[in-house]
Amino acid sequence: MEKHKKTQEPERIGGWISDFLDQLMPAHLREEAKVFRAWVKAVGPEITKNTKPLNFKRGTLYVATRHSTWSLELSSKRARIIEKLNSEIGSPLVNEIHFKVGTI
């Protein structure tokens, strides 16, 4: 009896589901999902713990911060964060970010 060799790795279902949902979602929700997924990698764990992306509309990302100090600090780094987000996403989706104190 001959053993069969695997010719390819099995696909991960998470990637398949993500692709499927991307096809079903309206374009503006796909963009929002891309931006929200990129947030963690673009800003890192410390900022992620103290912020929460709330909404993405017409190129503007709205982000809640834990404290006004975070809003001020991140506002001063806005251009760099936008650059990192767009790099992570792979396209220039984010043009502006608004930070405000809110529930995290």
Task: Kindly report the CATH number assigned to the domain that includes residue 40.
Answer: 3.30.300.180
Residue 15 tokens, joined: 């990637």
Q: Tally the domains of the chain.
A: 1
With beta carbons less than 8 A apart as the criterion, state whether 64 and 100 touch. Answer: yes
Question: What pLDDT digit, counting tens, does each position of 50-65 carry?
Answer: 999 999 999 999 999 9
Structural domain includes residue 60: yes
The pLDDT assigned to 52 comes to 98
Structural domain includes residue 65: yes
Residue 39 tokens, joined: 């947030």
Structural domain includes residue 19: no
Question: What pLDDT digit, counting tens, does each position of 14-45 carry?
Answer: 677 767 666 776 777 888 999 999 999 999 99
The pLDDT assigned to 12 comes to 73
What is residue 77's DSSP assignment? Answer: T
pTM (2 d.p.): 0.76
With beta carbons less than 8 A apart as the criterion, state whether 61 and 88 touch. Answer: no
Residue 2's pLDDT band, with cuts at 50, 70 and 90, is low
What is residue 10's DSSP assignment? Answer: P
Structural domain includes residue 6: no
Structural domain includes residue 83: yes
